[in-house]
Structure formats: C-alpha cells, structure tokens
Amino acid sequence: MHEFEIDVLLATCNGAQFLEEQLHSLFRQTFQNFRLVVRDDCSEDSTLDVIEHFRSRYSDSIEIHRNATRQGACRNFALLTQQSVAPYFAFCDQDDIWHPDKLELSLRAMKMVEHRHGIDTPAIVFTDVALMNESAEIISPSMWRAMHVVPECLTFGSQLVQNLVTGCTVLGNRSLLKLGSPVAADAYMHDYWFGLVATAFGVVCPLRTVTVNYRQHPKNAIGAKYRSAAGKIAQLWSDPDLKAYMAASQKQARDFASRYASMLKVEHKTTLEAWSGAQRYPAPVRQWELYRHGLRRTSFLNNLGFMLRA
C-alpha cells in the first residue's frame, strides 16, 4: 500500500460551481505524493459527480466520505482531521485555486522547522493569499497587505483576537494533529483552533508568499471580510460582526483553557482569562485590559481599529 506524505483534507458542500478548478490545481502540484481525502456535507448539486470524475482518473489517491447529516464547515473539517494518517496534513477549500508549488514550498518550510525543533514539536506553516472574485479575477494581490496584518508578529494573544492562519494555506505536522484533535465543539473554525494550539505549544511559520487564489463570493463560510476605507470608518461606530465574533472567540478560549489547563504556561492562562472575561469591564478599562495582556492585533492601524471597536 502506498504511503502518502501529505493528506489533503477537502471539505465540500454544494461546491460544484468552482470545484473542478480547485481539483485541477491540486493535481497540477509540483509535489504529488499526497492523498486527497474528501468529506462531503450533504451536497444537493453535482459536487459528488465532479469528485467521482476525478477519482476515475486518480483512483489510488482519492478517498471520499459522506456525512449522513449536515455538519457545517468547521465540524466537517474536524471530522476530516480524524481520518488523516499521513505525516502532514493540508486543509483545502472547495472553491480556491492553488498555485502549482503550494505544497512543495510549504513542505520545504515544514522540514526546516522540524529540523530545528524536532518532529515532536507541533508545527504549522501558512502563507499569504491573493483575493479573487467569483470570476477568478484578482481583486487584491495580498490579503495580508489589504488587511494590514503582520503575521511575523503573531503571538498567542494576537491569535486569540484575530485568526491569522488562513485554513486553505495550512500545512500541519502529525504532532500538531495529535495535540489539537479532536477539534473542540466550541471552536470558532478549524484553522483558528489549530493556530492556537501551534502558537501555545509549538511553532508557527508564516511564509510571506502567495500560494492560493482565495475566492470571495456570497457563499464563503468565513471569507476575507475585505472592506473599503469608507466601510472601515463606518465600522468604528457600529460593528455587529465584531460583537458576534468576540462572543464566539471567547467561547472558544474557554474551551481551549479547559482542554489544556495542565499544559498551559501561566502567562497564557492569564491571557485566556483576560480575553474570556473582557466583556465584564467598561469600555476604557476593557481596552487597557486587552492591551496589557497582549490581546492586540499585529499592526498599529489594525489594532487601533480593533481597540476603538472593542
């Protein structure tokens, strides 16, 4: 039986419109020693027909699973992680386009991380993406620049308040998968959860290169939430999305603190407590509490907007 080096974990749900482009980009990778593990979340379109067509050509490297009931994006990816057996895993969305050297570049970086820190250290490699529209036209060549984030400055506190680990770019090692599984029921998203695990207990390795064209359309489970300058100014007065995000992220933080209570450093426990209980403080005190516990975003402008809105 062939032993694959990477399990590419593809979650699908009514994705036929863009799926063929994504699968073509997968099987044009310069690195081909991967197994594609697909989990379909009760699609009602021709998603499974598209996948079966590719399986007829690549039968040895495609495995298909179907959910009996709708699970949602986070849970679907969580179930996929439980089926991964390879030394490395990569998350894959159904509607993007991977650059040909995506897996090769990420695996090379991962091997360097493991050479320095050992294969028993949980590690995650992630990259920048280009934003494209439904027609595959590039609308921003760099999401990191467009959103004013500096992933090299990522800390446990900054990862708590803003997930910088874009799932479709992730390559994780076996140690990360074992420590982070199963994904908590209250996880905001699968990539967010594994990003927290790697930041708290291992190594995060951002690559300042674009490896994916990240499609933005109305059916995105999360998306880049890219806004114009006017939209960003309007956010300072009213941002219901941030309010909902903070509540969900704080719920995730409480689950994370409970799961890893015996392993967390004291400073990480304190940071988790500050984030989980931030809402009990009046606004000016809340901003100070967030800032002094490292709960801030990775660039001045990005963090200024966050603090004003928080």
All domains of the chain, ordered by start, with CATH? 6-215 (3.90.550.10), 229-309 (no CATH)
Break the chain down into helix, strand, coil percent, rounded to 5: 45, 20, 35
pLDDT above 60: residue 159: yes
When pLDDT is cut at 50, 70 and 90, the band that residue 246 belongs to is confident
* pLDDT at residue 241 in the model: 83
Q: CB of 120 within 8 A of CB of 129?
A: no
Q: What global pTM score does this model have?
A: 0.90
Q: Nearest Cα to 301, choosing from 257, 246, 235, 240?
A: 235
Whole-number pLDDT of residue 236: 43
Predicted confidence (pLDDT) per residue in 160-171, tens digit? 999 999 999 999
Confidence of residue 118 (pLDDT cuts 50, 70, 90): very high
Which pLDDT does position 233 carry in this prediction? 45
In the predicted structure, residue 218 carries a pLDDT above the cut 80 = no
181 secondary structure, DSSP code = P
pLDDT category at 231 given cuts 50, 70, 90 is low
Residue pLDDT, tens place only, 167-210: 999 999 999 999 999 999 999 999 999 999 999 999 999 999 99
Q: Percent of the chain beyond pLDDT 70?
A: 92
φ, ψ for residue 97, nearest 5 deg: -130, 120
Task: Return the percentage of the chain with pLDDT > 90, whole number.
Answer: 77
